[in-house]
Amino acid sequence: MKYFKQFVFVLLLTTAFPLLAEVSVSSLNLMPFPKNIVVKTGEFRLNADFSLALEGVGGQRIYVNATRMLRRLSNRTGLFFQQDFITAETRSDTADMIVKTTRIGRLGLGEDESYKLIVTPEKVTLSAETDLGAIRGLESLLQLLSADENGYFFPAVEIDDAPRFPWRGLMIDVSRHFMPVDVIKRNLDGMAAVKMNVFHWHLSDNQGIRVESKSLPNLQSMCSDGMFYTQEQIRDIIAYADERGIRVIPEFDVPAHCAAWMVGYPFLASGPGPYKIARYWGVFDQTMNPAKESTYEFLDVFFKEMAALFPDEYLHIGGDENTGKEWSANPEIQAFMKANGIDDNHALQKHFNLRVLEILTRYNKKMIGWDEIFQPALPKNIVIHSWRGYKALDETARKGYMSILSNGYYIDLIQPAEYHYLIDPIPEGSTLSEEQKKFILGGEATSWAELVVPETIDSRIWPRTACIAERFWSPQSVNDVESMYRRMEIVSGQMEELDLQHIKNYDYMLRRLANGNDISALKRFVDVVEPVKIYNRHFQGIKYASFSPYTRVVDAARPESMTARRFRKMTDDFIDNKNVGVVPELTAMLQSWKSNHDELKKTINLSPVLKEIETMSQDLSIISTVGIEAIEYVKKGKPAPDKWLAESKSALAQAKEPRGQAELAIAPTIEKLIRSCEK
């Protein structure tokens, strides 16, 4: 095979260059996709004699990651490698793989994470300026692992890779629902696997303060329900993240989102109280009092301690969703505003933010906060975190402020991977200058925890966050949706080795829902069900609380049904491209759903928790019958009778209605089939 230089479109070229299809489809399952890649002839064959050595500057981080890569490779292949731990003493003259680093990287904004990976039939060479770049390259090598009848191998390639954005983050909210240490660690492993480098830790909100304070012990004794991280655990997680090249940025949300603070320290409050830890979800009025000097004295003590605990140069102060109602109703605060020439609550929050900034600066921290903190009086070394949209991101960049984007990456909104994938921090057609674009640092996926618990959080984060990670790392031109879905499914399976539970907990939850009975029919049903989108789950008859059950069908259902997506793609091919070759599989799928209700009803009768989806199961059977009949009308090339159309549309309207805060993901595709039968 001739050398063929492939940049970011390697997986998109299989149609135009069918001779390369085997390489691009079977071997290059890389996510994020590299900046530049050249596919060569041949492959490096693996056997039990495979060994690895380091050259250049070492350090604990690269030793740990090289050893982890070796163990993961051994576990995937079953090969009994003789090498145990990678150390500085490992001989490089006999090693099959050489990892070369020039210096130990600093975990901070803008550090070099580039790497070059060369695989030949004789040797594997990974070189990087920093150990951080090297560990990104190790993940790419693991993703290159391929197999055939002769065993395991790495395809011969040359990769020259570097991230597009320096800030590639995941925020995990541990206040609404507390997440134990093992949950955090396995998600850090997932982040490292797709080259993310910022863990944003949302540690405080109305539902609890999740960090131990030696200086202010009421925070854990009165403000956390006993669910918090000790300082020893926090240091352990920071060290764990550091080994994987991930920064840890804590968020302590002030002056709003802070009802829990007032439980232990009521003098902070702007309102009369009494205060208690919030058990329900929503935007609350409780706000810190910005007119009292004691508020800033308290925050000085707290942030001094947290600045010493968290080594990253940035600290997130939240600053969002202050209703201002308590400020407006407090005579003391109103008098303070009048005396200091503060015109409104917006200006008062600016005053508060500047005072907090003084505190953070005193302890050598830079401030990051949500959109609402943005004020021209703030220094240019802060970071504005945009949750409200690109307009705010654009404005801050034009004024010379650094910013990151989360709008479009709210994974708790239960939107499909395709939606997140096509959101870009710097969209095509941006009118920002090249210099202004540099102020947009990247973005973060956000996992808000109102509706997730440790059992379900992985399924809400993964695998969709892998496609967001690609958006932050890969060139903007890497945007083929079909390629993304294919590679994401493979990476999703690989992530199970990291103990991520987004796949295995699905069957476990279904077994519990089925009350220990056979889950075949239930699984067939839930495979085509999705939770309702955006935040509609909060407005469908159930008032959720922190102590509510998150064990129902809606919790087991995936954010995006891959079965429904496949059904939609085949239906599009049938209707739009007149491809009758897909009809047998389409019909088989519809037949399986049509007959499923009778079987599932037996399970429902043995497990009352499933009663809430019984009518939806029946509707799935009915609209599947409609789909089968619609296909026959389309095949015959003549419109369906008006009576059939009316009855089918009525059945579809009923099937579209959510039940149990879940909805049938195939309904829009059935609707397309019905429309294709009209005159």
Contact 132, 126 (CB under 8 A): no
Domain total of the chain = 2
Burial class (CB in 10 A: 0-12, 13-18, 19+), 183: buried
Pairing mode, strands 314-318 and 124-130: unpaired
The mean pLDDT value for 564-581 works out to: 97
Domain assignment present for 526: yes
pLDDT by residue (tens digit) across 14-31? 333 333 335 553 459 999
- Domain assignment present for residue 411? The answer is no
User: Is residue 112 in a domain?
Assistant: yes
Kindly tell me if the per-residue pLDDT of 139 is higher than 70.
Answer: yes
**pLDDT of 502 above 90:** yes
Q: Does pLDDT of 167 surpass 60?
A: yes
- How many CB atoms are located within 10 Å of the residue 389 CB? 13
The last residue of one of the domains, among 161, 179, 213, is: 161
Average confidence score pLDDT of the chain: 94
Give the pLDDT confidence score for residue 6 in this predicted structure: 38
Average pLDDT over residues 168-174: 98
pLDDT at 1: 33
Q: Mean of the pLDDT values across residues 47-58?
A: 94
Per-residue pLDDT, averaged over 322-329, amounts to 97
Examine residue 17 and state whether it is found in any structural domain, yes or no.
yes
**Residue 10: per-residue pLDDT:** 38
CATH number at residue 107: 3.30.379.10
- Residue 32 inside a domain? The answer is yes
pLDDT at 355 over 80: yes
Q: Which amino acid appears at position 408 of this protein?
A: G
Query: What's the distance, CA 679 to chain centroid?
Result: 44
In terms of residue numbers, what domain contains 115? 4-161
Last residue of a domain, one of 161, 178, 203: 161
Q: Which residues pair with 119 in a beta bridge?
A: 124, 157
**Mean pLDDT, residues 365-375:** 93
How many helices (H) and strands (E) the chain has is answered by 26, 20
State how far the Cα of 575 lies from the Cα of 329, in Å rounded to an integer: 61
User: pLDDT above 90 covers what percent of the chain?
Assistant: 91
User: What are 370's two structure tokens?
Assistant: 């949500």
- Rounded-to-integer distance, Cα 666 and Cα 543, Å: 27
**Residue 376: pLDDT band with limits 50, 70, 90:** confident
In a domain, 12, yes or no: yes
Tell me the three state secondary structure of residue 156.
strand
Residue 353 in tokens: 């933010």
Is residue 618 assigned to a domain?
A: yes
| Terminal CA-CA length for the chain | 52
Structure tokens belonging to residue 129: 């300026």
Res. 373: pLDDT tops 70: yes
Which candidate in 313, 321, 455, 612 is catalytic? 321
Residue 158 among the catalytic residues = no
pLDDT tens digits for 217-273?
Answer: 999 999 999 999 999 999 999 999 999 999 999 999 999 999 999 999 999 999 998
- Provide φ and ψ at 333, rounded to 5°: -70, -40
Interval 597-608: pLDDT, tens: 999 999 999 999
Q: Which pLDDT tens digit goes with each residue over 397-440?
A: 999 999 999 999 999 999 999 999 999 999 999 999 999 999 99
In a domain, 537, yes or no: yes
Question: Of 133, 161, 189, which residue is a domain's last?
Answer: 161
Measured CA to CA, the distance from residue 331 to residue 59 in angstroms comes to 59
Give the model's pLDDT for residue 23.
Answer: 53
What are the residues facing 209 on neighbouring strands? 204
Q: What are phi and psi of 651, to 5 degrees?
A: -65, -40
pTM: 0.95
